[in-house]
Structure 1
Amino acid sequence: MAFDFKLQCPFCFFLFFLLLLYTTTAQSYSNISLGLSFVAQDDNLVWRASRSGDFAVGFRKMEMDGFLLSIWFDKIPEKTVVWSANRNDPVEKGSIVELTTGGNLVVKDQKGRQIWSSISADTGVSYAALLDTGNLVLASQDNTILWQSFENPTDTLLPTQTMKLDTQVIAHYTETNYSSGRYKFMLQRDGNLLLYTTNFPFNDAVAAYWSTQFKAEVAAIGRSNHKNLVHLLGYCNEGQNRLLVYEYMRNGSLAKFLFKISRPNLYERTRIALGIAEGLCYLHEQCSSRIIHCDIKPENILLDDTFSPRISDFGLSKLLKNDQSRTTTAIRGTKGYVAPEWFKNMAITIKVDVYSFGILLLEVICCRKNFEQDVEEEEEMILADWVYDCYKSGTLHCLVEKDEEAMKDMKKVKKFVMIAIWCIQEDPSLRPMMKKVIQMMEGAVEVPVPPDPNSIFSSI
């Protein structure tokens, strides 16, 4: 191809160079021509890779020696599968995938029987390609996409992938078995995005999972009765309309009370902290269905007419069965208050609330947020780190130097700092139960010397 043009200036040449560069990088895939096929073999799994090399398509060997036509992340050791064609019908070694001369992408078993097909009629498909986004497409000669894996998801949604109405994503059965599992994620025609349980091993939806959870949470919260929990007055659960109605708290949230210019006095602050601890102790140890709140922070603590604290907002709470002490769930909570185990694929226990309470207790003591960028010294930005440094160096007065009352009672400040440090230990087993926290706050038991919050070699 020849170009007949004149460039009037170097800048124009630069723009043209960028255009060529863009045109080149935009074609970020390797075509699969009509008539090409690929055989499922143990030692030859990749049919095509995306231009970037991030994704590959081909046969992946699964449990019981079955093969799936799949797309997977190819640059990571796990080779995580993000899409599969025949997830419920694995084929044996020697089966093939073929882009037929008629433009169909088909999977056939060893006997030539068609197991899966992308489209059923000749639609003008000219080639197939795996894009850098992980999208497998069938396209016409003028590059119009006629079919794509992004519109036929299995159990994963990738960046830039969108869900259309009536689209569903079904979880795989186990970590190594990619057949349809127990949960279905669906974008309904009314625009609602719902998670359903399925009538396993069939794919038909049984009940909206979130609706079931909502009812369970309402029942548990409705049965709870403690002076430091907000009281549930009523609720609405009509179709997709769900609403909890709590009693009105005239004095707003603890955050509004705590982070204002004039500091509330130390006595009021520690009284409020003790009330929060008692409310959490009730949820963890005394409630008929034990509850992990999962989002303890000043914004979720409301103050009544006498400035007594009430724990609120149970929207992220996790209910435990009577015989259950730990659970697994996706990460919940608010940045800055989230316990380390959420990020480590560890079982979740009531100790995640203890960690959040420890961070909140530090905020109560110091009347400042757990992270502040606008500080005089860089080491003061992360409150937990600064507090421990001050504790170790014997300079706790730096935390409350603008608080005259606290400066006169540094013994109390030190005790509450030590309790908070125990609560934010990285190892959950080192954090005390909330009952023990209350005993330490009330002075019923001595507060042991806390270790470095990141240490795992001490116990209480």
Structure 2
Amino acid sequence: MRFLSCSMIYLFLVLQLQTLLVSSENIINGSIPVGESLTASESQQFSSSWRSPSGDFAFGFRKIQPNHGFTLSIWFDKIPDKTIVWHAQAVNTTTGLVPEGSKVTLTPDRGLVITDPRGQQHWISSLPPGSGSVSRGLITDAGNFRLLSKDSGEDLWLSFDHPTDTLLPTQSIEIGSNLSSRLTETSFKKGRFRLHLGDDGDLKLLVLNSKSLAETDVYFSYYESGTTEPNPGTRLVFNQSGYMYVLRSDNATRFGIKENVPTYIAAPFYISTGSEEALGNVACGFNSICILGDDQRPKCQCPEKFSLMDPSDEYGDCKPDFEMQTCGPENNKTENVHVNVYELMRVDRTNWPYGDYQRYKNYDEDTCRNACLSDCFCAAVVYGNDRVCWLKRFPLSFGQRAPNGNHDDRRDSYTLIKVLKGVVDVPVTRYRGRNSGWVFTYRELVVATGDFMDELGRGGFGIVYKGFITISGGDEVAVAVKKLDRVAQENEKEFKNEVRVIGQIHHKNLVRLIGFSNEGHSRLIVYEFIPHGTLADFLFRRPRPSWEDRKRIAVGIARGILYLHEDCKEQIIHCDIKPQNILLDASYNPRISDFGLAKLLMMNQTHTLTNIRGTKGYVAPEWFRNSPITSKVDVYSYGVMLLEIVCCKKAVDLDESVILIDWAYDCFRDRRLEDLIEDDLEAIEDMEMVERYVKIGIWCIQEESGLRPNMRNITQMLEGVTQVRDPPNPCPYSVLSCDEYLSCGPV
């Protein structure tokens, strides 16, 4: 006899290859009269049972060690370990088991009923309403327990219709049904794995994706058969020959499961036909590492400084033996703050394939380490030969350790797990004033932002968090704290100087800098908090914002860029003008953010011909050529954004297959400007100004930078002081098309 076993995770798919024929004599011999009962007894658990005619299967109570409880079960009775293939789930106990002395009785009106020695009911076979009385029970040589109707002799209830963790030959799963693994070998509660045939006919191998099994079940799939429309699956069949397939709706087409399960998926079961062939190794719990043993079975191991949540469950979750880092607010009312200091512990040849929330390319190991240590969400990073840094949240899903000598690039990686190094007391100091901005300690900004908990947005230079600082008089003011992630660590003096220069710049259309911090590896800049979000959020919504507001915002942005280019002591080229970097204040006036950061990021360069800055769709052509970078790159970006302001459409809209600069010029050339604004009635009534703004935008995006106006000319044209001539084709003779500019490089 051979069978499919998944005892490692308690999901069994049992294959009995010998022919099991059911004859009329066997049915008579295997029947159980109404009124018969069995009692749970450790001394009589195998002798006190109802057996199938051939004796292959038995029905009765089984003692589950090391618990002091029993489960009503069907098991293979002729093999030494007497493998359980079905069990009744007791509903009034924590383990799903019942005490010794419990009884199962075959009743005419309720079928099988389990009661404990005090008479409390723990389980009942659910009969269809109005189905009539039970005449007898029957345990068949296929391992199916049947309850037969007294009137018609038809089945009122079948154990095959209520599978638990096992499929037997000739058994099938209908749409909406599933198998669930046991929680542990000695606990018959539902575990984390499920095999489910959905309402759409798709068979899925699922794993529970919740922090504890007490939570609402949330599953994600390791494997999907893809048996959906137009010919969906209707039934999962495990036939007598051991072949498993999904029967499709035409009742003729079959989708074979065994040969179609990819070997690379983490399928949580084992196929056994004498020697065991592993399909996957996800038997382990959260924060645990799965290792394939010499016997090709998965073994689970907690990382150093972690231990099993339940010491009796070697396949369960691992918990940290220390206080995990959190992103909650700190108590800053005392003179000293207890600060947990974390370090990264290396675990070789190990990967956590799920739970990524951030990925960084072309990072060295030190930069990858710092990215995790400075991020309160990060529980671990995975780093490999491809120089990709994967940040993982807590809890870690499950780890997979490659065998020794495995040099597969996908698995020749290691994990750095964040663990507690120690606790130090840090004095809470107030920030010190400077004429050009405040200097903060890193700890003060941790307190101000609640450990960087409230994220406002992300950009090319870093992540922005909301915080609160106390000013003179004790009042709190809101601030935005940007954590920079690409500033060279060794340039501390240059960083201070440049930030102080930015701190001296004041204009009503620029976001005001409040201060900065440059302790250790951290580089942070503190800005005033701007309440109404980004221009992108404002512009690309429906219904469109008013035409008057859009015109006012376009002029305000132009004035802010003009100030950076011409009115500052030292010219500042922004290099990343886009709607996401334009904020709207309480009166919806535009405020340019991130100005000066491009210079900080390029301060090591001797010239400005390399290292493309900016965002795809807004990048000037000279970035891709051996051409000097001047303030005209900001003019180009502004032109793209001006067209977005007119049309309320994104520069690159993949959903609508629109490249805005091409479309805008085509509409201008063909005198179809109304297509750009569609049903915007307010703009339609001001077509003269719409045309003016479109022409200005096209002048700004000229491929030849010398043809672009400067920001002073642009401001005058927007305000009507200067006439606007018809612009030429912005890309008349480019080697690269305008479309190609939008797709060049990782900008």
Indicate the TM-score class for this superposition, using the shorter chain for normalisation: 0.5 to 0.7
Distance 1:195 1:273, change over 3 A: closer
- Displacement of 1:225 in angstroms is 0.9
More helix by share: 1
Residues in 1 aligned to 2:572 and 2:587: alpha-carbon distance in whole angstroms: 26
Q: Which of 1 and 2 has greater Rg?
A: 2
For 1:398, the equivalent position in structure 2 comes to 675
Contact preservation (8 Å) 1:236, 1:243: yes
Shift of 1:408: 1.0
Instruction: Render the CA deviation track for 1:146-201: whole Å, top value 9, x for unaligned.
Output: xxxxxxxxxxxxx9999999xxxxxxxxxxxxxxxxxxxxxxxxxx99887xxxxx
Quote how far apart the aligned CAs of 1:251 are: 1.1
Change (3 A) 1:350 1:278: same
Task: Label 1:285 to 1:164 Cα distance change in 2 as closer, same or farther (>3 A).
Answer: farther
Find 2:589's aligned residue among 268, 293, 308.
308
Partners of 1:161 and 1:439 lie apart in 2 by 60
Runs of 4 or more above 4 Å deviation: 159-165, 192-196
Among residues 549, 554, 564, which one is paired with 1:273 in the alignment? 554
The CA deviation at 1:319 is 6.9
SS of match in other structure, 1:453 = coil
CA distance in 2, matches of 1:161, 1:334: 33
Q: 2:699 aligns with which of 422, 430, 436?
A: 422
* Equivalent AA in structure 1 for residue 693 of structure 2: F
Q: Tell me how far apart the structure 1 counterparts of residues 413 and 631 of structure 2 sit (CA, whole Å).
A: 36
Contact preservation (8 Å) 2:557, 2:591: yes
Sort the Cα spacing of 1:353 and 1:212 in 2 relative to 1 into closer, same or farther, 3 A. Answer: farther
**Residue type at the aligned position of 1:441:** L
Report the residue type matching 1:410 in the other structure: M
| Counterpart contact for 2:487–2:600, Cα < 8 Å | no
| Secondary structure, aligned partner of 1:233 | strand
Give the aligned length: 281
Give the corresponding residue for 1:361: 642
Q: Give the match's secondary structure for 2:569.
A: coil
- Separation of aligned partners in 1, 2:487 and 2:558: 34
CA contact (8 A) 2:486 2:601 kept: no
**Is 1:221 matched up with 2:502?**
yes
Structure 1 match to 2:731: 454
**What's the TM-score, normalizing by structure 1?**
0.53
Q: Distance in 1 between matches of 2:514 and 2:485?
A: 28
User: 1:248 is matched with which residue: 506, 526, 529?
Assistant: 529
Q: CA RMSD in A?
A: 4.2
C-alpha distance in 1 between matches for 2:601 and 2:572: 6
Q: Distance in 1 between matches of 2:688 and 2:502?
A: 38
CA deviation string 1:109-141 (max 9, x = no partner): xxxxxxxxxxxxxxxxxxxxxxxx9xxxxxxxx
Could you tell me how far apart the structure 1 residues matched to 2:624 and 2:699 are? 20
Aligned mates of 1:425, 1:160 — CA distance in 2 = 48
**1:338 paired residue among 597, 615, 619:** 619
CA distance in 2, matches of 1:432, 1:160: 53
Equivalent residue runs for 1:57-96 within 5 Å: none
Task: Mark the CA change 1:328 to 1:272 in structure 2 (over 3 Å): closer, same or farther.
Answer: same
User: Taking every aligned residue pair, what percent have the same amino acid on both sides?
Assistant: 53
Name the CA distance, whole Å, in 2 between partners of 1:219 and 1:385. 41
Give 1:318 deviation, angstroms. Answer: 2.2
Q: Is the 8 A contact 1:234 1:244 kept in 2?
A: yes
Pairwise CA distance, 1:279? 0.4
Which residue in the other structure is 2:684 paired with? 407
**2:662 aligned residue:** 385
Alpha carbons of 1:213 and 1:452: their partners in 2 closer, same or farther (altered >3 Å)? farther
**CA–CA distance in structure 2, aligned partners of residues 344 and 163 of structure 1:** 39
The aligned counterpart of 1:288 is 569
Residue in 2 aligned with 1:49? none
Q: Provide the C-alpha distance between the structure 2 equivalents of 1:232 and 1:403, rounded to a whole number of angstroms.
A: 37
Map residues 6-85 of structure 1 onto 2, 5 A cutoff: none
Report the CA distance between 1:327 and its aligned residue.
Answer: 3.0
Mapping for residues 126-205 of structure 1, pairs under 5 Å: none
1:317 matches 2:598: yes
Classify the secondary structure of the residue corresponding to 1:292. coil
Counterparts in 2 of 1:353 and 1:341: CA distance versus 1, 3 Å: same
Structure 2 counterpart of 1:42: none
Cα displacement (A) at 1:316:
4.1
Say which SS state the counterpart of residue 244 (structure 1) adopts: strand
Contact 1:416 1:441 in 2 (8 A): yes
Calculate the TM-score normalised by the size of structure 2: 0.33
For 1:208, the equivalent position in structure 2 comes to: 490
Kindly provide the amino acid, as one letter, of the partner of residue 652 in structure 2.
F
One-letter identity of the residue aligned with 1:390: C
The C-alpha deviation readout for 1:368-401, integer Å capped at 9, x for no partner, is 11111333xx5xx111100000000000000112
| Alignment partners' CA distance in 1, 2:565 and 2:724 | 21
* 1:435 equivalenced with 2:712 (yes/no): yes
**Structure 1 residues 243 and 193: alpha-carbon distance in aligned structure 2, compared to 1, 3 A threshold:** closer
For 2:572 and 2:702, the matched residues in 1 are separated by 21
Q: Can you give the 5+ residue segments of structure 1 that lack an aligned partner in the other structure?
A: 1-132, 134-143, 146-158, 166-191, 197-206
Specify the SS of the correspondent of 1:273. Answer: helix
Does the 8 Å CA contact 1:251/1:307 hold for their aligned counterparts? Answer: yes
Q: CA deviation at 1:214?
A: 2.9
The C-alpha deviation readout for 1:6-62, integer Å capped at 9, x for no partner, is: xxxxxxxxxxxxxxxxxxxxxxxxxxxxxxxxxxxxxxxxxxxxxxxxxxxxxxxxx
- Cα deviation for residue 212 of structure 1 reads 4.5
Aligned-partner Cα distance in 2 for 1:340–1:162: 39
Shift of 1:329: 3.9
Supply the AA of the counterpart residue of 1:347: P
Corresponding residue to 1:372 among 648, 653, 656: 653
Contact conserved, 1:425 with 1:455, CA < 8 A, in 2? no
Residue pair 2:487, 2:523 contacting (<8 A) in 1 also: no
Name stretches of at least 5 consecutive residues in structure 2 with no aligned partner: 1-385, 387-404, 417-483, 735-747
Choose which of 322, 330, 351 in structure 1 pairs with 2:632.
Answer: 351
* Cα displacement (A) at 1:345: 2.7
Q: State whether residues 700 and 709 of structure 2, in contact with CA within 8 Å, keep that contact through their aligned partners in structure 1.
A: yes
Inter-CA distance 281–162: structure 2 relative to 1 (3 Å threshold): farther
State how far apart, in whole Å, the 1-side matches of 2:633 and 2:411 are.
33
The answer (yes or no) to whether the contact 1:266–1:405 under 8 Å persists in 2 is yes
1:320–1:327: 8 Å Cα contact kept in structure 2?
no
Q: Taking structure 1 as reference, are residues 236 and 454 closer, same or farther at Cα in structure 2, changes over 3 Å only?
A: same
Structure with the bigger percentage of strand: 2
1:257 correspondence with 2:257: no
> How far apart, in 2, do the equivalents of 1:234 and 1:194 lie?
19
Query: Counterpart of 2:558 in 1: which secondary structure?
Result: helix
CA 164–354 in structure 1, closer or farther in 2 if over 3 Å, else same: farther
Task: Give the distance between the partners of 2:694 and 2:595, measured in 1 at CA.
Answer: 27
How far apart are the structure 1 equivalents of 2:413 and 2:558?
A: 44
Change (3 A) 1:242 1:255: same
Counterpart of 1:317 in 2: which secondary structure?
A: helix
Q: Identify the residue that residue 177 of structure 1 maps to in structure 2.
A: none
